Amino acid sequence: MILGHAARSLREHGTIGSVTLQDSAFLRACRRQPVPHTPVWFMRQAGRSLPEYRKLREGVAMLDACARPDMIVEITLQPVRRYNVDAAIFFSDIMVPLKAIGVDLDIKPGIGPVVAHPVRDLAGVRQLRGLEPDDVWYVTEAVRALVTELGDRPLIGFAGGPFTLASYLIEGGPSRHHEHTKAMMYGAPDLWAELMQRLSAITLEFLRVQIAAGASAVQLFDSWVGALSPEDYQASVLPYSSWIFAQLAEFDLPRIHFGVGTGELLGLLSQAGADVVGVDWRVPLDRAVQRVRPDTALQGNLDPAVLFAPWSVVAERTDDVLARAEAADGHVFNLGHGVLPTTDPAVLERLVEYVHTRTAV
């Protein structure tokens, strides 16, 4: 609580007067250090809820947008300009590295990722080659440009977790029950292991590319692991997530782990090795503190649907999140999942200002 308010620049990278990137409230909170205010960013802050995003994306398919450096940079910066969030999240999609290695897939509006040929046998698994940096040259170019633009504001890189990627590949698209995925996991453990090893290596390389280009932190989105019991997660997913986080340790930057519906898995998500564990809205943060490892910061966890209620309710629920977060050694304010498409941007802007003001030292 000893720092003054961080200086701001969207043009210079590195030291800004006496303030550096490492002084940012976001990075300090991730490292459980004193902060000038609770930092704020929102999952899916760059995207559907912003009219300027929808205008820019007119006539451009999602995966095409994710492969254009100029568009990646502009979309990533849009919420920074509008909301004054404490960190930018790289605009991309968890399916980008799979598309880059030749998987026949598309992201269909209103549906999500759709894989033309689901991967359900050894031949399909072995067609998944490793990711090379040149496969995603546009990521490197965009991250470098963003680091220059953001200056003392951190850029968060991200990738999809191996279970979530496996589910999309095996099911062929979004799934409520993950029946084909679980059938492989339960009934063909050797095939499952090979698939998870390949996906873990692809995920790690995608994160390394972003880090090498200048990302200040990374988040592993394993969105669908909440579909698993703790026993199944521990046996069939934890070893691979742990390997990814262990490989990232050499970079000495904050590593965030997040999944949806993971209240019963928070301890295991923490055990995987992240510095920060994201918590969805189902578990109060003071309870989450009791489930994760000691010396772990928390991220979250306002219910995204609360933003549609009157402002008095938003403020009340935000106060509750902040009060419960006092039990944590470090806290990054976020939603309990992504910004919903019809969210009013003015509410998000007001929320950032509210959190900053309420927690300012």
Please list the active-site residues: 44, 48, 57, 93, 168
Alpha carbon 157 to its chain centroid, in Å, reads: 7
- Geometric angle at alpha carbon 278, from 156 and 162, rounded to 5°: 75
Q: In b/e form, how buried is each residue of 103-129, taking b as 16+ CB within 10 angstroms?
A: bebbbeeeeebbbeeebbeeebbeebe
Token readout for 285 is: 């943060």
> Among 126, 153, 138, which Cα is nearest to 63's?
138
The distance from CA 114 to its chain's CA centroid, rounded to whole angstroms, is 21
Ramachandran region of residue 325, left (φ > 0), alpha (ψ -120 to 50) or beta? alpha
Can you say whether the dihedral through the CA atoms of 344, 334, 92, 22 is positive or negative?
positive
- For the CA atoms of 62, 208, 80, 305, the dihedral, rounded to the nearest 10 degrees, stands at 60
Burial class (CB in 10 A: 0-12, 13-18, 19+), 49: buried
Rounded Cα gap, residues 247 and 243, in angstroms: 6
Nearest to 73 by CA among 10, 20, 159: 10
How is the beta sheet containing 297-299 ordered, strand by strand?
88-89, 155-160, 217-221, 255-258, 276-278, 297-299, 331-332
The angle that helices 137-150 and 189-213 make with each other, rounded to 10 degrees, is 40
